[in-house]
Amino acid sequence: MKLKTMNKKGADKILTIYWFVILTLIAGGIFAMVYVFYSTPYDVRGIEGEIFAERIADCISRQGIIDQSFFLGKDFDKSMTGEKFTKKCNLNFNVEEGYGDISQIQYFYRVEFYTLKDLTKANYSIYDGNINWESDCAIKKDSKDYTRLAQCTEERLYALNQGGEQYLIRILSVVGKSAKNVKS
């Protein structure tokens, strides 16, 4: 009779240990799921690129007319460089670590002006930022490491100059920041 009682107690202990193991398994599983999901950052570079391009477009064309600072008489003012345009538009690229280090800049933009006479070759072009990012735009979306590359956004618009000449404008905005937007 005594022996039977002891066996029962042992079975209860084993069952208790089993329940603790199961509880730990479930808790560990839930922790793993939450950790995996929330440790992955949201990739907002697509939206950031669009906002960046819109900001540039806003600086180039107002009420359908291209800003006069781009022109010197009838022609484009060649002294209007990317750096000058960046300053004029109050764009600030030094937002990441390595402030002031050009190679650490996470942004790039290129603005190209086309005339209706030749839509294949840009009449005038300006750019600023980290030019190393531009090459990432040539890589196709279905490539394996696409998400780790800089995100490119292209916007096109139509505007006129003060003299009524028609121009087509292509804006390419590139956002790097893969370290903050993609899980390594």
Partner 1 sequence: MENLQKMLNHNKKESMKLVPYNFFPKNRKGQIGETITWIVATLVLIAILIIFIFASVALSKVKTLKTDIKANAADSADWINAKTQVAYSISSVNKNKIQLWISQEGGIE
Provide the 8-state DSSP code for 116.
Answer: T
Of 119-148, binders to partner 1 (CB under 8 A) are 119, 137-138
- Are the C-beta atoms of 161 and 167 separated by less than 8 Å? yes
Q: Does 17 bind partner 1 (CB under 8 A)?
A: no
73's CB contacts (< 8 A; 6+ apart) are none
Part in contact with partner 1 (CB under 8 A); list of ranges 32-40, 79-87, 90-98, 100-108: 32-40
* Identity of the residue, 102 or 160, whose beta carbon is nearer to partner 1 in the bound complex: 160
Cα angle vertex 155, ends 151, 159, to 5°?
155
Cα angle vertex 168, ends 162, 171, to 5°?
110
Q: Does 149 bind partner 1 (CB under 8 A)?
A: no
- Are the C-beta atoms of 169 and 158 separated by less than 8 Å? yes
Q: Does 54 bind partner 1 (CB under 8 A)?
A: yes
Question: Which one-letter amino acid corresponds to residue 166?
Answer: Q
Part in contact with partner 1 (CB under 8 A); list of ranges 2-10, 56-64, 76-84, 87-95: 56-64
Of 59-118, binders to partner 1 (CB under 8 A) are 61, 63-65, 114, 116
Nearest approach, Cβ of 181 to partner 1 (angstroms)?
A: 9
Strand partners of residue 88: none
| Residues 36, 75: Cα–Cα separation, whole Å | 56
Radius of gyration of the CA atoms of the chain, in A? 29
Nearest approach, Cβ of 20 to partner 1 (angstroms)?
A: 13
- Which residues form the interface with partner 1 (CB under 8 A)? 18, 22, 25-26, 29, 32-34, 36-37, 39-44, 46-47, 50, 53-54, 57-58, 61, 63-65, 114, 116, 119, 137-138, 152, 154-160, 164, 166, 168, 170, 172, 183
